[in-house]
Structure 1
């Protein structure tokens, strides 16, 4: 139906986004255009995404190459909130790599002169600052698996892993008092009370009244729920641990360290 025919050639899902390769054909002229669609899948309906997740998506989009010189098309449902946040990220990241300063307020105001309410909420505006901070201060790079050994050797010679780890320690996210109080609950089910699980990543155990188990989701490369990380079960949490395996349908458990002492258990 209609003038154009759209054919999906390929679709690859990753932890935070999906990439689709499309072919659009004009039925009258038989001309075709190949299009790549980058679809960010981790933006919640009522909230904002993790800065790291949006930044990884931005870098993937920015690494794409095309022979066409036209402008980037960005859209969401209404075309103002999420769209404005992404456009602000793209423009200000590019400005920040060539200038000593950026002005988020000024650029937001400029966008709103062309389209009302670009960056729709205060949370989106605040989130943009955090993504830019991480993007302009934490330098990351990607490599193919064939280049990994060579690149790793060069990194070790320059002590880059130690430098990157120091940057990560300085870029820790900040949590509210409420989040700390929640993380400190159920003390009798924690082996080490200095190791806390963030509430929004916790897994709810359906077989208990409290729903609590000291376990969180960790994303994989292709899925946002690639791993579950937890402590070695205590005497009073062994049943919970087995219930979690059954609930999440995990078929592999990786135990690390001396089980008598107890460290981490990772399973999928």
Structure 2
């Protein structure tokens, strides 16, 4: 990050219900002013043993002195981990049912504006499912945040406690109404009602699936967006927000701490992570399980403060964008340009340590630019092998808004790379190739050579490519191919879209309308063929490819969430490819096309 610039001053403020947080423990460390948070984090990181490590170790030591922790073990079979102890005054209990005494491993936690705002729960085991839904009904809960996959590293973390259709759990009937799948989380809407009772309640489950099996998320952008969406969806009059992972600690504690600290930063101008975590752990042991999680909370709050909430509801986008592009005569800049400055300030520089595979001697000859290499975690290793051929190719797999690993961004292939390119298309199960340049452009340092057959069948290493059809106009050349691995029976039908209206030395396409037509053509094909991956390449760099990735994601966001968030979309791409959408011109182009898509979307019945 280059300098401390913040967008959070543009956030609309809601009134704070309580002044300060009711801490229950002695305050060992002072709260940090939000304006000083970046400097504070840098100092803590450089302090080594006397920084984050010292703070976290004092938290762990302090937990051993917690009083009135439950020693009950009557229903130990219902706990994922017998070491999780809960303060009895914080325990969520249920009325007895048949021979069940109502003892469950769930506990209340406060927010800064409301007591018992959260219920921290473990992931239900099969014998706990009825208890879980009983608790949802009893406490008038409307939202669930789930921060674990059902199975991780071969271990069952949580049973599937919801139905695919309708199912009765004891005297409660749960019906799945709708599922919305995104790259980082899934939203499920349920109807919950008592059997033989007409009263129904709508329950929303937000299932965050991007937390890795070890450690913490690579970045906080998706989790922060989820927290804001949950806040907006959870009615003020509803009961506690239920948060669970596997044990109800660790990830659950991180979520609760982030939610509360984001509010504290907004309404009080300070963050007090240490004392809040200390209080949280006095209610339920080990709420923050590692020093890495403790540091992650600080970094996530800093990102939340610097970036703010940049999402815009679709019904306000046109008027908001009009204000954003208005130039202030005093500063001679617009809100849009300031937003782009913030985006650049929070974009990390490429880290060679994260691209170790690309630097291996046998792989370096495939890299056109050493300043733009794929991170190891986003690298699609080739499976289809011919003899001793290398499994590496210079490509990066990126998420769209609704689909994980939706894009494969790669340079335009040289003639010697054509076989690897088609191996990439086949192994990644791609349904579309989007080429954003013309062939043999003399002004380019890397002339774009043709890597596909114009007719008949051609073999590229172990891959056979058969020409099917071609349609062409002044904007797009649309070709269809059958792609087959000669050693396998399966084949792919792949469309190749060559966009003809983006000059090599231009930052953006010639015509917004023609680019919008490309997006719509690709959208229709992807919907028809089942949303396979999309390969994107262009001669003049990945910044241009980033424009296409960003706009496809924004179109998905408009359809599924009725929101536009260009900032978050580009930042998410930049976490893995820092040069995505690299100029203000390209950034504004994303806004312009988003507006054009919105107008089309509204005029055509929001299809």
The two structures share one fold, judged by TM-score above 0.5: yes
Structure 1 residues 154 and 14: CA distance shift in structure 2, 3 A:
same
Counterpart secondary structure, 2:281: helix
Cα offset for 1:53? 1.7
| Structure 1 partner of 2:211 | 43
| Structure 2 partner of 1:131 | 300
Counterpart secondary structure, 1:56: helix
- Aligned residues of 1:16 and 1:57 also touching (Cα < 8 A): no
Aligned mates of 2:352, 2:371 — CA distance in 1: 15
Of the three residues 519, 540, 563, the one matched with 1:263 is 540
Of the three residues 262, 278, 282, the one matched with 1:109 is 278
Of the three residues 183, 195, 199, the one matched with 1:27 is 195
| Structure 2 partner of 1:156 | 325
| Structure 1 partner of 2:417 | 237
Residues 102-126 of structure 1: per-residue CA shift (max 9 Å, x gap): 1212111111100000011222222
Q: Is residue 2:393 matched to residue 1:213? A: yes
Residues 113-158 of structure 1: per-residue CA shift (max 9 Å, x gap): 0000001122222221221110111123222445434332221114
Structure 1 residues 161 and 218: CA distance shift in structure 2, 3 A:
farther
| Structure 1 partner of 2:576 | none
| Structure 2 partner of 1:18 | 186
Aligned mates of 2:355, 2:311 — CA distance in 1: 34
Aligned mates of 1:51, 1:173 — CA distance in 2: 13
| Structure 1 partner of 2:263 | 94
Structure 1 residues 241 and 43: CA distance shift in structure 2, 3 A:
same
Moved more, 25-34 or 159-168: 25-34
- Aligned residues of 2:264 and 2:271 also touching (Cα < 8 A): yes
Moved more, 228-237 or 94-103: 228-237
Contiguous gaps of at least 5 residues in structure 2: 1-168, 328-333, 445-538, 550-607
Counterpart secondary structure, 2:312: coil
| Structure 1 partner of 2:485 | none
Aligned mates of 1:44, 1:163 — CA distance in 2: 33
Cα offset for 1:193? 1.6
Cα offset for 1:80? 0.2
Counterpart secondary structure, 1:251: strand
| Structure 1 partner of 2:380 | 203
Aligned mates of 1:47, 1:61 — CA distance in 2: 23
Cα offset for 1:263? 2.8
Moved more, 111-120 or 39-48: 39-48
**RMSD across aligned positions (CA):** 2.3
- Aligned residues of 1:9 and 1:22 also touching (Cα < 8 A): yes
Cα offset for 1:206? 1.4
Residues 218-238 of structure 1: per-residue CA shift (max 9 Å, x gap): 211211222111111123322
Aligned mates of 1:165, 1:143 — CA distance in 2: 16
Q: How does 1:175-194 map to 2 (within 5 A)?
A: 178-185=353-360, 186-194=363-371
Q: Is residue 2:363 matched to residue 1:173? A: no
Aligned mates of 1:120, 1:85 — CA distance in 2: 9
- Aligned residues of 2:356 and 2:376 also touching (Cα < 8 A): no
- Aligned residues of 1:232 and 1:264 also touching (Cα < 8 A): no
Structure 1 residues 183 and 129: CA distance shift in structure 2, 3 A:
farther
Cα offset for 1:264? 4.5
- Aligned residues of 1:256 and 1:263 also touching (Cα < 8 A): no
- Aligned residues of 1:205 and 1:244 also touching (Cα < 8 A): yes
Cα offset for 1:74? 0.8
- Aligned residues of 2:261 and 2:301 also touching (Cα < 8 A): yes
Of the three residues 228, 232, 253, the one matched with 2:408 is 228
Structure 1 residues 193 and 127: CA distance shift in structure 2, 3 A:
same
Of the three residues 425, 428, 435, the one matched with 1:248 is 428
Aligned mates of 2:191, 2:397 — CA distance in 1: 36
Counterpart secondary structure, 1:236: helix
- Aligned residues of 1:15 and 1:221 also touching (Cα < 8 A): yes
- Aligned residues of 2:358 and 2:364 also touching (Cα < 8 A): no
Counterpart secondary structure, 1:9: strand
Aligned mates of 1:100, 1:232 — CA distance in 2: 48
Q: Is residue 2:246 matched to residue 1:77? A: yes
Moved more, 119-128 or 140-149: 140-149
Q: Highest CA radius of gyration, 1 or 2?
A: 2
Counterpart secondary structure, 1:61: helix
Residues 220-259 of structure 1: per-residue CA shift (max 9 Å, x gap): 1211222111111123322111111111222222223455
